[in-house]
Amino acid sequence: MKKLFKTSLILLSLLSVIFTSCRKEYEVPPISEVPVGKVLTIDDILAMPAKTTFDTISSVFGIVTADEQSGNLYKAIFIQDRATGKAIELKLNTSSAARIGDSVRVCLDSTIMYNPYYNLPQLTDSKGNGINPDGRLLIYPYNDPIEPKVVTIADIKSGDYIAALVKLDSVEFVEKNTTFCDPGETTNRHLVDATNPSSDENFVVRTSNYANFAYDYMPISKGSLVAIASIYKSTYQLTIRSKSEMEFAEWGAPVPPTPPTPMVGDGSRENPYKANDIITLGIENSDGNKYWVKDYIVGYVDGDYVYQFGSNTDVKTNIILSSNVNTSDATECIPIQLPSGAVREGLNLSTNPGNLHQEVLLYGTLEKYFQVPAVKNVSYAEINGNSFGSDPGGGGGGGHVIFSETFASGQGNFTIQNVNLPSQLSNVWKHTTYQGNSYMKASAYVSQCYAAESWLVSPAINLSAKGTATLKFEHAINKGSANGRLFVMVSTNYSGDVNAASWTELVLDGWPAGNNWTFMNSSADLAAFAGQKVYIAFKYTSEAVDGSCPTWEVKNFVVEE
């Protein structure tokens, strides 16, 4: 009988090893080799001050309530105390073999830290990075999952269920006929209590674009779901574990595309784009060139990337425009980036709440911003009879601007290529502001002249539909002549390497004398390049000889018809 009993134990041990090893993705030392030390509960840890490390060897036990299987979590799991319901996230530096329902022991010492991440309780390493699970995370694969606690949105917002597994009944998504994620982006959707959908209890459901349901269409009826209650700063949110845990009667389906709205503007000052025009053009036509845009300010995008239709008290970096002054629909809006300086101070709704619902004329680049077609690098704006920034059209004079960059807040979309940068210099071209004047500055002088070659290259400027074009800019030169040192070049085949492209020197109508800091206007005819895509570059060269390294300052770059 003893022999039979011993044989059974051996067989059970072997089976345990076989089934357990199928779950492991890395070697885990035998549990007996890792000291337990002081046993802490999750409640004990949550009561500690932020950024507490464990000077005494300790252990905390919990049940896994969320793993990485659906792709909605990455290098992280959640564990929960079955008795108290308290929970915490484990931030890892590699994927874990732990699965929902497993019991785990987390081994704690001075290399592990309790480190709430914007109010979400976490265990990390002592530097705030992921924990190496090897030898720190010991798994007991019992497959005994915790049942979710049935709560309401208001219960979660009370703060009592952070990091815990919950179930919500009679809820519905605010967004209809769309997918959980926008293409390529982790996305926030919003849930509301279906029994009172007009209440302000809606909150975020955040889904990774790597989740296996990221591009499935969302439910359109009320229902229930199971998720991990979470928080980011003061925003409560949910992380769904699996689509199979969402019980809804009706689900959305793809809708036919809306026919494009006819264009109203053409991007000129005389006929600026409307918000609807930029939406119609789409991201694929957001070419980075500068255009005029005119429409109504209807709100801003907050720190959680949510469109807010009203004025605010803290966001100064953006506004949103719409052709519908009374809209509350984000799909009718375009975000506008406000770079630091006069434009931001004049347009933002925090300082200027009266700008809400006012019409604004502005000048900036068409680019993707908040993952939608938008306007960035705004260098000039007019609203309520006031103007801010540098007017590229000289107050309405001149031709239609094709592209411009004032360099008021940086180098814009221009790139710098150093063909010869001596070790004594950290740069040749750099953005500079002096006495309120901003420009791009090139110099190879640091206590003495050095031999250097550096290019400041524009983005692509599209002249394909143009019969003529002119380059205009302002520049100053001091500490040496431009002769044989400074060049304005144009290329039609540049692709990222100035040495691999063919360049033609442009003939300017005038150069500064080279002995003062006074800016002068210069221009060059681009008619020979009409019908093509061009790149324009400012080429700086110098020699290690006194007087052979001038300082060149450039601003208010404009290409116009």
Domain co-membership, 38 together with 161: no
Distance of alpha carbon 378 from alpha carbon 21, whole angstroms: 59
Domain co-membership, 161 together with 123: no
Return the structure tokens found at 292: 């005029």
Domain co-membership, 105 together with 191: no
What percent of the chain lies above the pLDDT cut of 90?
61
Domain co-membership, 428 together with 549: yes
CA dihedral over 349, 350, 352, 356, signed as positive or negative: positive
Strand-strand pairing, 333-337 and 359-369: unpaired
pLDDT of residue 28: 41
Q: Which of 367, 363, 559 is nearest to 466 (CA)?
A: 559
Specify if 400 maps to a domain: no
Specify if 445 maps to a domain: yes
CATH number of the domain residue 39 falls in: 2.40.50.140
pLDDT of residue 29: 42
pLDDT of residue 40: 97
Distance of alpha carbon 374 from alpha carbon 372, whole angstroms: 6
Looking at 213, 231, 248, which one is the last position of a domain?
A: 248
Domain co-membership, 429 together with 355: no
Domain co-membership, 59 together with 158: no
pLDDT of residue 273: 93
How confident is the model over 12-54, as pLDDT tens digits? 343 343 333 344 343 344 444 678 999 999 999 999 999 999 9
pLDDT of residue 60: 97
Q: What is the pLDDT along the chain (561 residues), one digit of tens a residue?
A: 333 333 333 333 433 433 333 443 433 444 446 789 999 999 999 999 999 999 999 999 999 999 999 999 999 999 999 999 999 999 999 988 899 999 999 999 999 999 999 999 999 999 999 999 988 999 998 889 999 999 999 999 999 999 999 999 999 999 988 899 987 788 999 999 988 776 667 789 999 989 999 989 999 999 999 999 999 999 999 999 999 999 999 998 876 655 666 778 888 888 899 999 999 888 777 777 888 999 999 999 887 778 899 887 788 999 999 999 999 888 899 999 998 888 999 999 999 999 999 999 999 989 888 878 999 989 899 998 888 988 876 433 345 678 888 887 789 889 999 999 999 999 999 999 887 678 999 999 988 999 999 999 999 998 877 778 899 999 999 988 777 789 999 999 999 999 999 999 999 998 998 889 899 999 999 999 988 999 999 999 999 887 789 999 999 898 887
Distance of alpha carbon 332 from alpha carbon 295, whole angstroms: 12
Name, in order, each residue with C-beta under 8 angstroms of 40's C-beta and a sequence gap of 6 or more.
58, 59, 60, 108
Collapsing DSSP to helix, strand or coil, 372 comes out as: strand
How confident is the model over 274-298, as pLDDT tens digits? 999 999 888 777 777 888 999 999 9
pLDDT of residue 31: 46
Strands (E), 162-244: 165-173, 187-193, 203-207, 223-232, 235-240
> Which residue segment(s) compose the domain that 190 sits in?
149-248
Domain co-membership, 126 together with 157: no
pLDDT of residue 324: 92
Domain co-membership, 206 together with 298: no
Domain co-membership, 53 together with 73: yes
pLDDT of residue 185: 82
pLDDT of residue 64: 97
Distance of alpha carbon 362 from alpha carbon 295, whole angstroms: 9
Query: What is the full DSSP assignment across 184-204?
Result: TS-EEEEEEETTSTTSS--EE
Domain co-membership, 385 together with 425: no
Specify if 394 maps to a domain: no
Distance of alpha carbon 37 from alpha carbon 34, whole angstroms: 9
Helix segments in 78-187, DSSP class H: 153-157
The domain total for the chain is 4
CATH number of the domain residue 302 falls in: 2.40.50
pLDDT of residue 169: 96
Distance of alpha carbon 392 from alpha carbon 363, whole angstroms: 8
- Helix (H) or strand (E) run with residue 318 in it: strand 318-322
Looking at 229, 248, 267, which one is the last position of a domain?
A: 248
Specify if 395 maps to a domain: no
pLDDT of residue 24: 39
Specify if 2 maps to a domain: no
Name, in order, each residue with C-beta under 8 angstroms of 478's C-beta and a sequence gap of 6 or more.
514, 515, 516, 517, 550, 551
In degrees and rounded to multiples of 5, residue 61 shows phi and psi of -110, 150
Domain co-membership, 128 together with 225: no
Q: What single letter denotes the amino acid at residue 463? A: L
Helix segments in 368-435, DSSP class H: none
Q: Which of 494, 462, 484, 474 is nearest to 543 (CA)?
A: 484
Specify if 259 maps to a domain: no
CB 461 within 8 A of CB 402: yes
Distance of alpha carbon 361 from alpha carbon 294, whole angstroms: 4
Strand-strand pairing, 333-337 and 318-322: antiparallel
Name, in order, each residue with C-beta under 8 angstroms of 409's C-beta and a sequence gap of 6 or more.
339, 340, 341, 377, 379, 438
Specify if 356 maps to a domain: yes
Specify if 129 maps to a domain: yes
Say what the pTM is.
0.47
Q: Which of 196, 191, 261 is nearest to 219 (CA)?
A: 191
Domain co-membership, 92 together with 187: no
